[in-house]
Amino acid sequence: MDSIGIIGCGNMGGAIAGSLQMEVLVYDSDALKAKQLASSKETISVAESLGALLSTCNTILIAVKPQILSTLYPELRALGSDKKRWISIAAGIPLSVLAEQLATDEIVRFMPNIAAQYGSAVTAVAPAEGCSSSLREDSLHVASSFGSAFLLPESQFSAFIGISGSAIAYVFSFLHGLAMGGVAQGIAYPEALKIASDTMKSATSLIDATKANPVDLATRVCSAGGTTIEGMKALAQGGFEGLVMRAVEASSEKSKMLEAKAANQGK
């Protein structure tokens, strides 16, 4: 695949367009937004209309809000053809609805997180059951261009949201808590936050390098009667692990509810 069309030039659509090492044709109802995006990189150009984009590109990434997408289906069906290949990042719109509305199985869903604009997103990739292997591979390549990509069945999307899409906010909260703890102990917040953030990076680097279980790594840090075990005891007494698991469950269940609602509305 040497080119792609992107409908929607918002934060996520713009981030993806800017990360791709290929020719990108973009369209947005806000023409100024599309032009500003195109001015940021030579490989990005602007389609004069949605029809122009659809007539030019065979692979199209849909990067508009779900409520906007629902108004575009008739035009996408009318101007598209059964040879078009679709990638959707519209949150909460299941493959079954997309397949019905676009009249094809050549569809892949993405679930990226907000770090896409910095090339560090974690993205779930779910192909429709009848999706071709070529679109599956091309989609993984696209998703990998702005971070890491995980091929998952759509049934696991809600769980993915719980441990990644929404969980990035839990990580922010944890880092803030660490930094505030540093403030309480006499380190200014900006420096405490930088120390905590770098510590988070060092921890994930160890997991990546050693492939060890996080629990094993944590026990290596804990020495008998030392400082770390005191902190670990405080986390255990506060129910830290269980609280995190409940947060994952809450986000996952909310995602399932929203997907079920979207599926019913699409019928």
Q: Are residues 136 and 22 in the same domain?
A: yes
Residues, the chain, total?
267
How many structural domains is the chain composed of? 2
Q: Is it the case that residue 267 has pLDDT exceeding 80?
A: no
Q: What pLDDT was estimated at residue 120?
A: 93
Q: What pLDDT was estimated at residue 250?
A: 97
Q: What pLDDT was estimated at residue 82?
A: 66
Q: What is the pTM of this model?
A: 0.89
Locate the DSSP E strands across the chain: 3-7, 23-27, 44-46, 59-62, 85-88, 107-111, 121-127, 147-151
Q: Are residues 12 and 95 in the same domain?
A: yes
Q: Assess contact for 61 and 37: CB atoms under 8 A.
A: no
Q: Which residue has the tokens 């209309």?
A: 49
Confidence of residue 79 (pLDDT cuts 50, 70, 90): confident
Tens digit of each residue's pLDDT (9 = 90 or more) over 17-34: 999 989 999 999 999 999
Q: Is it the case that residue 266 has pLDDT exceeding 80?
A: no
Q: Are residues 30 and 103 in the same domain?
A: yes
Q: What pLDDT was estimated at residue 81?
A: 67
Q: Are residues 15 and 100 in the same domain?
A: yes
Tens digit of each residue's pLDDT (9 = 90 or more) over 223-248: 999 999 999 999 999 999 999 999 99
Domain CATH code at residue 141: 3.40.50.720
Element (H, E) at 180: helix 167-184
Domain containing 113 equals 3-152
Query: What is residue 222's DSSP assignment?
Result: P
